[in-house]
Every structure is written in structure tokens, then in C-alpha cells.
Amino acid sequence: MALSIAEVSGEGILLAGGAAAILLQVADPRIARSVAVHSDFAERPLDRLHGTLTYLYVIVYGTPDEARAIARRVGGAHAGVPGATDAGLQLWVAATIYATAMSIRELLGGPDSPADAEALLADYAVVGTALGVPRTQWPSSRAAFTAYWDGYPLEVGDDARGVARELLHPAGLPWWMRALLPAIRVVTTGLLSAPLRDAYGLEHDERRFARYVRLARRVYPRLPRRVREWPKNHYLRRFRAAIDRAR
């Protein structure tokens, strides 16, 4: 039986692609401008990542009522932000989440079978359709996705580079998060294409990145499922607790 998004997106290792996904998103100047002007990203650079993870986990693993609630919350947060409800931009955001997840999967275990790859692509459409992207806009095949991805116009400007600085060199973090930042920067740059790294002005240590990949291949599959799925369970609990408090 082909893989589904529910079998894949609960794996905590996929969080390693979170910062890369954000940098891909803001490589669209319209998204970068919205983040720079209409959000408090500089003060709370990790909030966008937390919000994206909450949205993804609730859409995939929550009840239908919870999925509608998180879609309304995201829609409310975007109210009045130019371009935030643009289906083309929402499609790009969903595509970055899918693409970085697939990159992590391939680095850890090699490419999926053609049947699994096509099934996962189809399932990931929900990441965009829950926010109003028409199902017909989601690429219908891996070949169509590759054509869409390769042809998407990107332009890294000052807004995007500002987001990158705040994301990869944030201030005011607890010591244990600061200790993780060098590894996060290596993994993030390793998941970006060389032209995009250059556009952001990011240096990349390929040998160190390769060591991290080898370590993850050895260690991650051996971790207990409760450890691998802790982020998913944490974000779902936090979301549900917030809903309960609001009642």
C-alpha cells in the first residue's frame, strides 16, 4: 500500500528542514515583504516555524473540527496582510513544506518508490487546500511538481536576507537552543541550492553536512517511535490545550 502523509509527516526529523522551508518561502519577494512589514518576525523569529508546525500537525492528525479551527486561526492571522490569501503564494508555501520534507526523507533513506512518491505528492495537497488553494492547482504528478518547482521565479532581496539573519542568528534564545544553532545553520544551507545560498550570502560546510547526514542515518531509525514523534504529539497537545482554554 502506498505511503500517506500521515505515515510520514509525524517524523520529528523533518523539522530539520523547517528553516530551509522558510528561506525558500521568503525567496518570493512578495512573501518576504509581508513578513518584513506585517509581522514581528524580528522579535520572535521562531514563531513562524512554530505556527507552521502546528498548522501541519493539526491539518494531518487533528479532527475535522480541529483542522477547520487551525485554518480559521491562520486565516485570521493573515487578515489584512497583502497577498496572504493569494492562492499562488499559499501554493508556494505548501510546496516548500513538501519539498523540504521529501529532501530529508531522501537523505535518510534514499528515494521513495515511484508509487509512494506519487501518493505522497497527492496527499500533501491538503497542506495548501486547507487554506483555500484549489485542488486543481496542486501539481498532479512528480514531473509536474518538478516543472513547477524549477520554474518558480525566486529573487532574494533585502527583506529575505533580513529574515535569514533573524532566523539563523536569533537573539535571546535559551542556552540549549543557542548550542543547536551551528548545526541548524549547516543543515539549512545544505538543503538549499547553491545559487540560493549565494543569493542569501550563506556559507556552507559540505563535509560537516555530510557527517550530520551519516549520523542521522545511523541513529534516527533506531530511536523509539515515541521519541521520533514527540514534536507532533507536543504541538497537538499544545494546540488542544489552547482550544480548551478558549472555551
82 — pLDDT class (breaks 50, 70, 90)? low
- Main-chain dihedrals φ then ψ at residue 78, nearest 5 degrees: -90, -5
Predicted local confidence at residue 80, as pLDDT: 60
Place 46 in a pLDDT band, splitting at 50, 70 and 90.
low
159-172 per-position pLDDT tens digit: 999 999 988 988 77
Which of 47-56, 136-145, 177-186, 191-200 has the weakest average pLDDT?
A: 47-56
* Mean pLDDT score, 108-129: 94
Given a cut of 90, whether residue 222 has pLDDT beyond it is yes
Q: Residue 51: what pLDDT?
A: 81
pLDDT bin (cut points 50, 70, 90) of residue 45 is: low
Calpha distance 2→22 (Å, rounded): 28
Look at residue 48 in the predicted model and tell me its pLDDT. 67
Q: Average pLDDT, stretch 122-147?
A: 94
Query: Is there a contact between 207 and 186 (Cβ–Cβ < 8 Å)?
Result: no
pLDDT band at residue 153 using 50, 70 and 90 as cut-offs: very high
pLDDT at 79: 58
Give residue 2's pLDDT band: very low, low, confident or very high (50, 70, 90).
confident
What cell does 71 get? 485554518
Q: What is the dihedral of CA 23, 29, 34, 36, to 10 degrees?
A: 70
C-alpha cell at 105: 526523507
Interval 196-211 mean pLDDT = 97
- CB neighbour class for 151 (10 Å; exposed up to 12, middle 13-18, buried from 19): exposed
pTM here is 0.92
- The answer on pLDDT for 118 being more than 90 is yes
Question: What's the whole-number average pLDDT of the chain?
Answer: 90
**Confidence (pLDDT) at 115:** 94
- Mean pLDDT, to the nearest integer, of 9-15? 94
Indicate the SS3 state at residue 85: coil
